[in-house]
Amino acid sequence: MRFLGSRALRYTIIAIAALVGAVALARAFPVKLPDIAVAPEPIAQVSLFGLNYSVTNSLLTSWLAMLLLVLLAIATTHRMKPVPDGLQNLVEALVEAIYGLVEDVSKHNARKFFPIVATIFLFVLVSNWLGLLPFFGPLGIWHEVKSHSGEVERVLIPLFRSPSTDLNTTVGLALISVTMTQVFGVQALGIFGYFGRFLNLRGLGKLIGALFGRPPRLGLGGLFGLAFNAFLDLFVGLLELISEMAKIISFSFRLFGNIFAGEVLLAVIAFLFPFLLSLPFLGLEVFVGFIQAFVFAILTLVFMAMATMGHGAEEHKG
Partner 1 sequence: MEALGIDPNRLLSSVFNFTVLLILLWFFLYKPVLKMLEERKERIRQGLADAEAARQAARRAQEDYQRQMEQAHKDAQAIIAQATQAAEKAREEILSQGRGEARAIVAKAQEKIEYERKQAMAELRGQVAQLAILAASKVISRELDERAHRQLIQEFLAETASLN
State the residues that interact with partner 1 by CB under 8 A: 37-40, 53, 56, 59, 62-63, 66, 69-70, 72-74, 76-77, 80, 82, 84, 91-92, 95-96, 99, 114-116, 118-119, 122-123, 163, 166-169, 171-173, 175-176
* Phi and psi torsions of 154, nearest 5°: -95, 125
Instruction: Give the residue from 98, 273, 225, 252 showing the smallest Cα distance to 166.
Output: 252
Question: Using CA atoms, how far apart are residues 69 and 236, in angstroms rounded to an integer?
Answer: 42
Residue 171 CB, nearest distance to partner 1 (Å)? 6
- Residue (129 or 281) nearer to partner 1, CB: 129
Residue 62 CB, nearest distance to partner 1 (Å)? 6
- Residue (164 or 200) nearer to partner 1, CB: 164
Residue 154 CB, nearest distance to partner 1 (Å)? 21
- Residue (172 or 196) nearer to partner 1, CB: 172
- Residue (88 or 229) nearer to partner 1, CB: 88
- Residue (95 or 227) nearer to partner 1, CB: 95
- Residue (62 or 200) nearer to partner 1, CB: 62
Residue 49 CB, nearest distance to partner 1 (Å)? 13
- Residue (82 or 219) nearer to partner 1, CB: 82
Residue 11 CB, nearest distance to partner 1 (Å)? 46
- Residue (127 or 278) nearer to partner 1, CB: 127
Residue 261 CB, nearest distance to partner 1 (Å)? 15
- Residue (28 or 74) nearer to partner 1, CB: 74
145 beta partners: 153
Residue 241 CB, nearest distance to partner 1 (Å)? 22
Residue 65 CB, nearest distance to partner 1 (Å)? 8
Residue 79 CB, nearest distance to partner 1 (Å)? 10
Question: Using CA atoms, how far apart are residues 139 and 127, in angstroms rounded to an integer?
Answer: 17
DSSP 12-33: HHHHHHHHHHHHHHHHHS--PP
Q: Note the Cα 224 to chain centre separation in Å.
A: 46
DSSP the chain: -HHHHHHHHHHHHHHHHHHHHHHHHHHHS--PPPPP-SSPPEEEEEEETTEEEEEEHHHHHHHHHHHHHHHHHHHHHTT--SS--HHHHHHHHHHHHHHHHHHHH-STTHHHHHHHHHHHHHHHHHHHHHTTSTTTTT-EEEEEEE-TTS-EEEEEEES---GGGSHHHHHHHHHHHHHHHHHHHHHHH-HHHHHTTTS--HHHHHHHHHHHSPSSPP-HHHHHHHHHHHHHHHHHHHHHHHHHHHHHHHHHHHHHHHHHHHHHHHHHHHHHS-SSTTHHHHHHHHHHHHHHHHHHHHHHHHHHHHHHH--HHHHHH-
